[in-house]
Amino acid sequence: MYSEKVMDHFRNPRNVGEIADADGVGEIGNPVCGDMMTFYIKVKDNRLVDVKFKTFGCGAAIAVSSMVSEMAIGKTLEEAKKITNADVAKELGGLPPNKLHCSNLGADALHRAIENYLNKQKAQAQTAPEAQKPEAQACVCPYCKQPVAPKEPYCKPCNVKLQKCPHCQSMIAQTAKVCPKCAKAL
């Protein structure tokens, strides 16, 4: 019924677990059979450096998840996105026809984790200019609005020593007990 490779990956699944600070997470389930797979990926220099999974399902689903994780580690994102359901089934030495849907779930969950990562990267790129605005504002005296050198947190026109608020990064007087901008205690 199952190949020796399927049985090996079922009995000794590789890369089981969760990545707490995962760069991407992909989840998929099949309501008909009840299989549920979640893939966690860690990316460095556009390459999958770690892949973990948690699977609730049959032996074939566990074996597929294990194989997908092994096939993906070390690949670039583009290479990993090209892993197909057929590739997974072939690498496992085949799956019974009634279990082929498991290979679909594994590859699809990995692809969703990659898409999740890429969407996060796109969102960060879109907000990056906004993230720089507070830094630009941080180098202005909050009292007289004159520029202040970042390495010299001292406003010469006001004769006030300044510091950055640890919460919002705005320039504030060193003697301040509460930030006037974010209203948080210092």
Of the residues 102, 141, 165, 179, which is catalytic?
102
Cβ atoms 24, 41 nearer than 8 A: yes
Starting from the edge strand earliest in sequence, which strands make up the sheet with 171-173, in order?
154-155, 160-164, 171-173
Is 141 one of the annotated active-site residues of the chain? no
Is-catalytic flag, 102? Answer: yes
Virtual CA dihedral for 131, 132, 133, 135, nearest 10 degrees? 110
Angle, vertex CA 10, rays to CA 1 and CA 31, nearest 5: 80
Q: Which of 33, 58, 139, 158 is catalytic?
A: 33
Residues labelled as active-site residues: 33, 102
